[in-house]
Amino acid sequence: MRSIETQTDIDWDCRAYGNSSFVSTHVTMRTTQTGALSLNRKFQEEAIDHRKERKFIVVKSSLDLLFKNCDICGREQKHTKMICGTLVTVNTTCDCGHFYSWQSQPLSGTMPIGNLILSAAILFSGSSPMKALNMRNHAGIEIFSLRTYNNIHSAYLVPAVESVWQLNQLELLQAAKESNGAMILGGDARCCSPGHTANNEVKNSYAMEMEGLKRGLAHLSENDIKVSQIVTDRHSQVKAYMKNQQPEIQLFFMFGMLQKKLEKKGQKKSCQILSDWSSNHLYWCAASSNGNGEMVLQKWQSILNHVANIHYRHGDQFQECQHGLLEERAWIKQGSMAHDELKSVVNGRMLVKDIKKLSPGQQTSGLETFHKVVCHFAPKVVYFFHSQMNARLYLAALHFNEH
């Protein structure tokens, strides 16, 4: 707490700025004065949800108006202000010895409630503490230090988030168990810097992805939850682990990586159709095939016939194009150089293998949305301590599950 200068000016009645409850609080105080009084007790007695209660920014000169004259005898009085983060305590004394103490907000124990609410607001809105505090400093608004924020964060906010998270997890796991079905998981690693992240527990981001996958599966297995499918990106370690250690779980791939690869190939003139088509066609191939890898592949390879104006007899599972009549256009002749180039990409050995395993469902778009939420709560450019990062990831997941 620190004190700021003594003031002896201006008219007490200016507090008509306040709303009725503010004024009535003061009326109570007036009749029970003599000696130090604290509004705090009264605040604590009332069951008010202070988080939802409206708060105001009060400029110092406006506040000084309130405390110029003694409320009892009307004489000019001295007052001192003590600041504790967002709290200002005003103590007044007049020549008759009337003493009065006013606090701008209630306390929770010994903590100004505003410090707690604002710290929570910074975290729960996914803001950067540094920026949020700086913004108030720029506006000249009294605020606690980053150190205080970190203390409140560790002592109150992290435990609160963890406890909500654990309850939420219990409910979700219970619901999953009761549904008796097997789960389809979507998973992807998120690296804090491009490439590799230094981490205490694992060597790099690939190792982190593997470790995350193993721990996630172990956690579900401990809770007796079956997993039927996993949708993830195409890291070879993941492929090998799933094949050798979890053969009963079907592995599917996300579009993202394949799509990027195809867009790159599409830069060649003969393969331009790939960059135009890759997102929609690829998605459609997988989404309309119900996990049937062979069907996905035949749909994908039908591109080669389609561009040559052949729309039938693509394969035994996917026999003809689904579109109606097409306008005349520049078709690519089979056997031409352009067609051969396209063919070598469409039929690429690795691509063919991976396309069969493209995820049939919406899991990937859900995962992408989740990543956006994570980026909101924990932007990659901001460094967070482990506990801060944890709390922010929990919040992101809670937020995602809730909406």
CB of 30 to Zn ion, least distance (A): 11
Pick 15 or 234: Cβ nearer Zn ion: 15
CB of 269 to Zn ion, least distance (A): 21
Spatial distance between the Cα atoms of 340 and 332, rounded to a whole number of angstroms? 10
Binding residue for Zn ion (CB under 5 A) from 23, 73, 141, 218?
Answer: 73
Site for Zn ion in 79-138 (CB under 5 A): 94, 96, 98
Cβ neighbours of residue 50 under 8 Å, at least 6 residues apart? 105, 106, 113, 117
Pick 55 or 98: Cβ nearer Zn ion: 98
Cβ neighbours of residue 265 under 8 Å, at least 6 residues apart? 271, 274, 275, 345
CB of 326 to Zn ion, least distance (A): 7
CB of 102 to Zn ion, least distance (A): 15
Question: Applying CB under 5 A, does 321 fall inside the site for Zn ion?
Answer: yes
CB of 311 to Zn ion, least distance (A): 4
Pick 28 or 369: Cβ nearer Zn ion: 28
Write the single-letter amino acid at 125: S
Q: Tell me, by CB under 5 A, how many residues bind Zn ion.
A: 9
Got the DSSP string for 310-350?
Answer: --S---SSS-S----------PPPTTSHHHHHHHHHHT-HH
Pick 235 or 314: Cβ nearer Zn ion: 314
Specify burial of residue 197 (Cβ count, 10 A radius: 0-12, 13-18, 19+): middle
DSSP-assigned beta bridge partners for residue 231: 186, 252
DSSP-assigned beta bridge partners for residue 185: 230
Binding segment for Zn ion (CB under 5 A), chosen from 63-71, 79-87, 203-211, 339-347, is 63-71
Pick 205 or 301: Cβ nearer Zn ion: 301
Spatial distance between the Cα atoms of 173 and 111, rounded to a whole number of angstroms? 36
Token pair, residue 300, equals 């994908």
Question: Applying CB under 5 A, does 72 fall inside the site for Zn ion?
Answer: yes
Pick 111 or 321: Cβ nearer Zn ion: 321
CB of 20 to Zn ion, least distance (A): 25
> How many other CB atoms sit within 10 Å of the CB of residue 161?
22
Question: Applying CB under 5 A, does 311 fall inside the site for Zn ion?
Answer: yes
Residue appearing with tokens 């980053």 = 146
C-alpha torsion angle, residues 206, 209, 212, 213 (rounded to 10): -120
Pick 44 or 288: Cβ nearer Zn ion: 288
CB of 353 to Zn ion, least distance (A): 24
CB of 323 to Zn ion, least distance (A): 6
Q: Residues 256-295: x/- map of binding to Zn ion (CB under 5 A)?
A: ----------------------------------------
Residue appearing with tokens 């060649």 = 268
Question: Applying CB under 5 A, does 4 fall inside the site for Zn ion?
Answer: no
Question: Applying CB under 5 A, does 306 fall inside the site for Zn ion?
Answer: yes
Contact 346, 278 (CB under 8 A): no
Binding-site ranges for Zn ion (CB under 5 A): 70, 72-73, 94, 96, 98, 306, 311, 321
